[in-house]
Amino acid sequence: MKQKILVTREVFDDVLDYLEGYFKVDSNQSDNLLDAETLAARLADKAGAMTTIADRIDSKLLRQCPDLKAICNIAVGFNNIDLAACTSTGVMATNTPGVLDDSTADFTWALILATARRVTESERYLRAGQWQGWKLKQFLGTDVHHATLGILGMGRVGQKVARRALGFDMKVIYHNSRRLPQEIEHDAGNATCVSLDELLSRSDILTVHTPYSQATHHLIGAAEFAKMKPGAIFIHASRGGVVDDAALVAALQSGKLAGAGLDVYEGEPNLNPGFLTLDQVVLTPHIASSSEATRHNMAMLAAKNLVAALTTGNPPNLLNPEVRGA
């Protein structure tokens, strides 16, 4: 008899076809977010699940799902999953690293250029019928070429963002939990490792690529914004919670920062209403990895993780390898 699994949100048809070759699949193709009670009920008799960052997997839910053996997130981030609780209950947890790095780096550059050159602000102006013709000082923006790009978090995505800066003749500096090997720094736009304070004070454009955890909660807040260069641009496409959004709103309202490009927010899908009052902010709804090819690859990798977890017990992207000894 085939094991039962749950796919918590809509995925591509061929991904479902692949899973149905191994499992009896309960799929949520209507794409409605399952609340905690409904999620627990749907998972109660399942051996595994493909989840998203919107699905909270915690000890309370796991206690209600005694048959559960694997949770496979369609994301690199996994702050929606209590790994310790998974390990203690013998549940494998996986993510989808690598397949979305280039698309996320591309989108980071979309935010950088749109913010620096006031693209969305000027488009709204034009669409509202306010444009009356060319003016010398109309929508003056910030040059990206030859500017100093600061990268907070120089992992896979941060490095790809840095490589793209070569085409703009930028100076790249970064701050990371550890310095990268010299050959990687060279490949990443001849990047230079600096302290966090130096990163803040020198960056014309600062982009954040740090995973969220309790250790990185509000890593960037009022004190950090105060240290940034007046007129700098702030970009965030990693995870909500790394940045204190209220402090960012205040820094933008005060004129300390020239603008911000944001794809992630605290408490999303809710966001600080102050952002909506600021013309110099580019806002997108957590779509940095949302190209068709990349999102398909993410879903298929999660599916392959789930198949491996429930057939061999050895998924390729296991987040809690200690579960094997639990």
Residue 261 is encoded by which pair of tokens? 């490009």
Render 35-104 in DSSP notation, one character per residue: PHHHHHHHHTT-SEEEE-TTS-B-HHHHHT-TT--EEEESSS--TTB-HHHHHHTT-EEE---STTHHHH
φ, ψ (nearest 5 deg) of residue 233: -115, 140
**Which residue's entry shows tokens 């820094």?**
251
Q: What is the dihedral of CA 230, 111, 160, 205, to 10 degrees?
A: -10
Task: Catalytic residue, from 42, 56, 179, 268: name it.
Answer: 268
Strands in 190-272 per DSSP E: 192-193, 205-208, 232-236, 257-262
- Rounded to an integer, what distance in angstroms lies between the CA atom of residue 7 and that of residue 9? 6
Alpha-carbon dihedral sign for residues 253, 254, 260, 263: negative
Task: Catalytic residue, from 156, 163, 286, 296: name it.
Answer: 286
- Rounded to an integer, what distance in angstroms lies between the CA atom of residue 193 and that of residue 185? 8
Q: Is 9 a catalytic residue?
A: no
CB atoms within 10 A of CB 83: 17
Query: Reduced to 3 states, what is the DSSP secondary structure of residue 151?
Result: strand
* Strand pairing class (232-236; 257-262): parallel
φ, ψ (nearest 5 deg) of residue 151: -120, 120
Q: Is 239 a catalytic residue?
A: yes
Report the Cα 7 to chain-centroid distance in Å: 21
Give the helix/strand (H/E) hosting 39.
helix 36-43
Q: Is 218 a catalytic residue?
A: no
Task: Report the b/e string of 164-178 with b at 16+ CB within 10 A.
Answer: bbeebebbbbbbbee
Amino acid making up residue 57: I
Task: Catalytic residue, from 175, 239, 266, 295: name it.
Answer: 239
**Which residues, at least 6 apart from 254, have a Cβ–Cβ distance to it below 8 Å?**
none
Q: Which residues are catalytic?
A: 239, 268, 286
